[in-house]
Structure 1
Amino acid sequence: MSTRGFHVKSPEARENLETVGATFLDGYAIAVEAPHQDEAHRLLERIPVRYRGFAYEGAAMGLAMLDGLPVPGNGRVAEFLAGHGAPHDYMVHVGVGWAMARLPRFRWASIAPADPLLRWLALDGYGFHQAYFRTARYVHGHYRESAFPWPGDETRRYAGHAIDQGIGRALWFIGGTDPAVVADLVDGYQADRHADLWAGVGLATCYAGGATEDELRLLVERVGPHRPQFVQGVAFASTARVEAGLLTEHSETAVRLLCGLTPQEAAAVCEQARPRPVVDGALTAYETWRRNIAERITSGAPEARA
């Protein structure tokens, strides 16, 4: 935390966030060193539940980096998603975005996710990486990606939104899980970016944790009109933990206080709102999905408690 120049709220917050980072690196090393997927899975499953998802995220980055090399034998991420990585598909796609940030752009096609819906999580991961490691430019300088080259189709207009969602997630780390500091960081950006940034904050608040119940209530006060996007991020995080079997007390508390739901109910909302088939129109299917989740939770729709 001190090396990156991030805010330190308390020794406990520092330990939590630094453990996240160390576990991510462990997952990366496991993936690139393991002789096969089964061995990587065995080692990843040894990691404590609270941090295991970050290890799978790191593992996905490692596999994507290998896939991005100009040598025969790629397809490791696809194999991972078809196997032991399937329950962690949210985190795996985010991990691919970390690799995008480290690979030259002409190699991106070799690691581009095939899932037409979750592929946007790769840009969430890219945005997180840029804010985390290029903080002066992306956070304090409020740099905004324009004419982003991925994906190579008509939906690229949405790329900046997905990147901002990742930047928002990074703000939870940069602000040291201190709600007042994080909210001030969000407020520093142009107003038209706040909705996506708050969605990212919501995801990190629930998945990484680090806030007390009083701090969570403060977040609700500061999020203001962007509560729909905020709770959508919380619901994504809850779903990622439920589907992977990695529920923790801090995640359950966050979902209850911020969404008024159990983790299972939040996951059910995400599943019921998921577009089938995935068809991009004036809005990407991903953005339509996010908006439907937000609307169902904030309106208290009956299916939110199915």
Structure 2
Amino acid sequence: MTSIWRKVRRRVLTPGMSETRLDTRGFHEKTPEARRLLETAGEMFLTGYAYAAEAKTVQDAEERLEELPVRFRGFGYEGAGMAFAMRDGLPFGGRLTAQFLASRGDEHVYMVYVGIGWAMARLPRMRWSKASAAATDPLLRWLVLDGYGFHQAYFHTRRYVEDQYVEPDFPWPGGVAGDRAGRVIDQGIGRAMWFVAGTDPDLCATMIEKFAPERQSDLYSGAGLAATYAGGVEPDELSVLWERAGTHRSYVAQAAAFAAEARVRAGLLVPHTEMAAQFFCGMSARDAADVTTRLRPNPVLDGAVPAFEVWRDRIADEFAGLGRG
């Protein structure tokens, strides 16, 4: 394939950078600093997407991804995960996502799986099996649904956030635990709501509390993950989100530990994640990450309750027992 065709493919497949602007999306602007943070995260996502959309090989994209700033590199890998899954899911697609996960993408597996969910939100359902074929980890594959939920709330905010739309009978991943997909989609919606609120914890909590009570735990979990991974707040603002979370605090701590693990595994630990982990989990980011690995189900067996949900409950219970609930 010629370099000209690769550039055309990048141009056709890659959304415009204006799609990451808060004013384009109609999201709240808390401060100019918060706006720059969120828009930069979006720009790095699309930069990673463009690298993968244009790349001749997975290695070509990885070399460019490694040049992105540490704080935002994970978003670049997430975008690349989406692009490779899009390319796999299109007619005549290959196994690029699997190659990515077998290489440097493995360190960013959480973000790559989330990126696969973005791709599924853009592809016809008949192409989902090809787009998601690389999501073979029986536990982490549920993160695909988190990515799907984030995409829908980010790009269809009125429907998914304001109107609180619920996906009926979601078909993926299917199986005996398939009816639990909505919980993980809600975690992605909650993560997107941190962006919709412009990192304003009061506004984010107010939006969450308009949802049905049974959905709020997962929504707060998503918001807590975004507050820990993306940041955009000072300690006093973390306190606001924590207080507003109330009985859902243990799931905020659980999500903060997930965010810590994603950054620690990728070698991208930064001060704001350390600060948030100390606040939400009552321990260092590395110790919080260790909680997630220690409590990981082994073997992974999906019964009436998916192993992923069991995992999250174990972590939340651990933090509740430590007074973080």
TM-score (norm 2): 0.91
What is the match of residue 49 of structure 1?
70
Alpha-carbon distance in structure 2 between the residues aligned to 1:152 and 1:250:
37
Determine which of 254, 258, 268 is the counterpart of 2:280. 258
How big is the shift at 1:253?
A: 0.3
Determine which of 136, 141, 144 is the counterpart of 1:119. 141
Residue 154 of structure 1 aligns to a residue whose secondary structure is coil
What is the match of residue 249 of structure 1?
271
Determine which of 143, 167, 186 is the counterpart of 1:164. 186
Determine which of 242, 248, 265 is the counterpart of 1:226. 248
Return the letter of the residue paired with 2:178.
Answer: R
Aligned residues: 301
Determine which of 9, 28, 53 is the counterpart of 1:32. 53
What is the match of residue 299 of structure 1?
321
Answering whether residue 85 of structure 2 is matched by residue 78 of structure 1, we say no
Contact 1:97 1:126 in 2 (8 A): yes
What is the match of residue 212 of structure 1?
234
CA deviation digits over 1:34-60, x for unaligned, max 9? 221222111101100000000000000
Alpha-carbon distance in structure 1 between the residues aligned to 2:314 and 2:176:
22
Map 1:138-287 → 2, pairs under 5 A: 138-287=160-309
Answering whether residue 22 of structure 2 is matched by residue 7 of structure 1, we say no
What is the match of residue 92 of structure 1?
112
Contact 1:203 1:234 in 2 (8 A): yes
Return the letter of the residue paired with 2:253.
Answer: V
Answering whether residue 129 of structure 2 is matched by residue 129 of structure 1, we say no
Residue 25 of structure 2 aligns to a residue whose secondary structure is coil
Contact 1:145 1:160 in 2 (8 A): yes
How big is the shift at 1:98?
A: 0.2
Alpha-carbon distance in structure 1 between the residues aligned to 2:55 and 2:168:
38
Give the unaligned 5+ runs of structure 1. Answer: none
Contact 1:166 1:200 in 2 (8 A): yes
Determine which of 9, 16, 37 is the counterpart of 2:37. 16
Alpha-carbon distance in structure 2 between the residues aligned to 1:258 and 1:153:
34
What is the match of residue 104 of structure 1?
124
Contact 1:37 1:84 in 2 (8 A): no
Return the letter of the residue paired with 1:50.
Answer: R
How big is the shift at 1:152?
A: 2.8
How big is the shift at 1:299?
A: 1.1
Return the letter of the residue paired with 1:155.
Answer: A
Residue 85 of structure 1 aligns to a residue whose secondary structure is helix
Alpha-carbon distance in structure 2 between the residues aligned to 1:153 and 1:18:
38
Residue 119 of structure 1 aligns to a residue whose secondary structure is helix
Determine which of 71, 82, 102 is the counterpart of 1:61. 82
TM-score (norm 1): 0.96
Contact 1:171 1:201 in 2 (8 A): yes
Contact 1:255 1:266 in 2 (8 A): yes
Residue 189 of structure 1 aligns to a residue whose secondary structure is coil
Contact 2:177 2:304 in 1 (8 A): no
Contact 2:176 2:303 in 1 (8 A): no
Give the unaligned 5+ runs of structure 2. Answer: 1-21
User: For structure 1, which segment, 230-239 or 109-118, has the greater mean C-alpha deviation from structure 2 after superposition?
Assistant: 109-118
How big is the shift at 1:228?
A: 1.2
Alpha-carbon distance in structure 2 between the residues aligned to 1:224 and 1:146:
29
Alpha-carbon distance in structure 2 between the residues aligned to 1:74 and 1:290:
33
Residue 264 of structure 2 aligns to a residue whose secondary structure is helix
Consecutive aligned runs of 4 or more in structure 1 exceeding 6 Å deviation: none
Contact 2:81 2:116 in 1 (8 A): yes
